[in-house]
Amino acid sequence: MPKPQKHVFVCTQNRAEGHPRGSCAQKGCAEVMNEFMNQIQANNLFDKIGLTNTGCMGPCMLGASVLVYPEGVMYGQVKKEDVKTIIDEHLLGDQPVERLIVPAEVW
Amino acid sequence: MPKPQKHVFVCTQNRAEGHPRGSCAQKGCAEVMNEFMNQIQANNLFDKIGLTNTGCMGPCMLGASVLVYPEGVMYGQVKKEDVKTIIDEHLLGDQPVERLIVPAEVW
């Protein structure tokens, strides 16, 4: 991809059922990742938004975790339904979605 | 992890032998990832440097790919031996390692 204006990293870490940390996979990260991809494709945002899946970024208890650079804004408990809001308000509108940002002690 | 001053993303994508795109795995990304982890541990840099493995970031032909935010600097053909240089000069010294940066048409 070309260097994007905003780069979205979606944790897609999986862990075995019963693992004490849980994982973003158990919290629906695949749906979140797919929704970002679908929205980026449907609106032809490839030149503005980069999208990359990642391993664990740390705040497993608040998954699904979504990190946006260059700002370094970490979103937690992201659901499929939040993706359009993140795209419209933050990635295109440059206003981070405050209600989804993880607490400062987490990130 | 706490919000890092620099966040290093190492592509660890693998593909089957003979795949036309190749992959960073075939180009030694596991060694690069391990070397970052070892150096960060040995020098206790957890509070300054974040480290995350990722899926494909695009420039497979120039793997192993290493991306550093918040600057958005993409390094290509990174070898284990380059890791200490990236840490010392860029992550701690704030001077990107020019010889490793991918061409502008790639990123």
pLDDT of A29-57, one tens digit each?
A: 999 999 999 999 999 999 999 999 999 99
Using the beta-carbon criterion (under 8 Å), do B9 and A12 form an inter-chain contact? Answer: no
Contact A12 B55 (CB under 8 A): yes
Strands of B49-54's sheet in order across: A73-75, A66-69, A6-11, A49-54, B49-54, B6-11, B66-69, B73-75
| Contact: B69, A1; criterion CB under 8 Å | no
pTM over 0.90: yes
A107 burial class (0-12, 13-18, 19+ CB within 10 angstroms)? buried
What is the arithmetic mean of pLDDT over B73-79? 98
Kind of pairing between the strands at B73-75 and A73-75: unpaired
Contacts of B75 (CB under 8 A, 6+ apart): B65, B66, B67, B68, B82, B86, B97, B100, B101, B102
For the CA atoms of A76, A78, A15, A7, what is the dihedral angle to 10 degrees?
Answer: -80
Q: Are the C-beta atoms of B12 and A54 separated by less than 8 Å?
A: no
Question: Looking at the partner chain, which of B2, B72, B107 has a beta carbon nearest the beta carbon of A107?
Answer: B2
Nearest by CB to residue B1, choosing from A55, A58, A69, is: A58
B1, pLDDT greater than 80: no
CB B81 within 8 Å of CB B32: no
The DSSP letter of residue B14 is: -
Range from A11-20, A68-77, B1-10 that averages highest in pLDDT: A68-77
Burial class (CB in 10 A: 0-12, 13-18, 19+), B28: middle
Judging contacts by C-beta atoms under 8 Å, the chain B residues touching residue A96 are none
Measured distance CA(A8)–CA(B64) in Å, rounded = 20
Asked if B48 contacts B91 with a C-beta cutoff of 8 angstroms, the reply is yes
Distance from CA of B84 to the nearest CA of A (A): 22
What is the overall mean pLDDT for chain A?
96
Q: Which residues of A touch B2 (CB under 8 A)?
A: 107
- Which residue from A57, A70, A71 is facing B52, i.e. has the nearest CB? A57
Sequence-separated (6 or more) residues with CB below 8 Å from residue B46: B1, B40
Element containing residue B70 per DSSP (H, E): none
- Number of A/B CB contacts below 8 angstroms equals 52
